[in-house]
Structures are given as C-alpha cells and as structure tokens.
Amino acid sequence: MRYIVTGASRGIGIETAKKLVEAGHEVYALTRQVNTVPVPGIKYVHFALSSDSSNLDELMEELGEGNFDGVVLNAGILINQPFENTKVEDIQEMFQVNVFAPMAFLKRLKPRLNPGAHIINIGSMGGVQGSTKFPGLAWYSASKGAIAILTECLAEEWKNEGVSVNCLALGAVQTEMLQAAFPGYQAPLNPDQMGGFIANFLQTGHQFFNGKILPVSVSTP
C-alpha cells in the first residue's frame, strides 16, 4: 500500500509514518522542515501545502508516479489568543493551514486515489459540537470544526467511488501544539501511542466507518 502523511516532521505525524513503514507500506511524509532527521524507509517530500494550484502541481510531480491508498492530513497550526485579540493574519494562517490547504490538496489528489482508499482528517475535540471549549482557542476550534464537516461532505460525495473519509477528533496528546494550548499540562498519551492508533485506523478503520467524526480522547485537555 502507498500512503501519504502530512505534517510529518515531528510528533504525531512522524510517529504515524513510522508505524506504517513498520507495517510494510510505502510512505510519503510531507513536511515543511528541511532539517528533519530522516527515518529509514520513509520518503520525505519537503513541501508546504497551500491552496495555490501551481504549487500543488509541483507537489504532484514530487510524489512521483502511481496512485495512493490512503492519506493522513495531520498538518496543522494553533495560535492561542483571546477571540477579540487575535490578529487577522493569524486567523487567516490558521484557516489556510487547517482548512483551505487540505481541501485544495484533496481536490488535486483525488484522481490519484485508488478504489478503497481511506482519507483521515486529523481534527480536534475542540472542533466537535457539544465538547468542552477553552478560552483562547475559538479560531483554532472553528477551523477544526470546518474540517470535521468537510469529512462528512466528502464521504457522501465519494462513497460511490470507493473512497472513505473519516475524521479523528483528538484529545490531549503530549505534543508542542498541546503545550501551546495548555502550557505545563501533562497529557495521558504520547505521540508514539497516538501514531500507532492512527496508523492502524488508516489501514482498517474504513471497513467499519465512513463520514464519521470520531472522538479519540482520554481527556480534554
């Protein structure tokens, strides 16, 4: 199987990619950082996703020939600021990275998805309706709410073509992003544990779920 994992320079992304390689799959890891320490077996593509079509054409060339069996859209950004104090450019950056770039990427990648492919959008418990919300995270949570609803829409549009789309709404995992949201908080899960769960779900979860927003949370935060 051939898989793509975005936001794979560190944390949950790289741990997911490692687990997929260990399972014998071909993995392309998209990362904005060029100083990533290589992991044997992972094919690195140093690339910053955007919604620019020419940019995405370049990415398609970087990914080489052949189709893909799954994608983990893990790349994201969090800026912790009170709602009224958040700068317009920070809001735009969060929605660009968390919503618009993944949407454009999936649109461009669609012709290269094999029947039976599984797409996982990495969401957040903050983007789930009815979940506990926290001060300073309104814009981030709104962006993750958007990607959750996109999941439901794409699952419906692509179900007849055999492409499944699910969203894993993560709770607290010990990452740099968690520390930006909740400084000093110690999460019950680490990136290795969550990466293992996501890798397993990518390989088998679409046999049981499609178009679902699934909480993956021991605690929030």
d(CA 120, CA 59): 19
> What's the pLDDT at 52?
75
Bridge partners of 44? 29
Please report the domains of the chain, with CATH numbers, ordered by start residue: 2-216 (3.40.50.720)
The strand order across the sheet containing 26-31 reads 42-46, 26-31, 2-6, 68-73, 113-124, 164-170, 213-216
Report whether 21 contacts 39 (CB < 8 A): yes
* Residue 128 three-state SS: coil
Q: Give ∠ CA 48-106-146 in degrees, rounded to 5.
A: 90
Ranges of the chain with pLDDT below 70? 34-35
**pLDDT by residue (tens digit) across 148-164?**
999 999 999 999 999 99
**pLDDT by residue (tens digit) across 103-114?**
999 999 999 999
> What's the pLDDT at 26?
97
* Global pTM value: 0.95
> What's the pLDDT at 51?
73
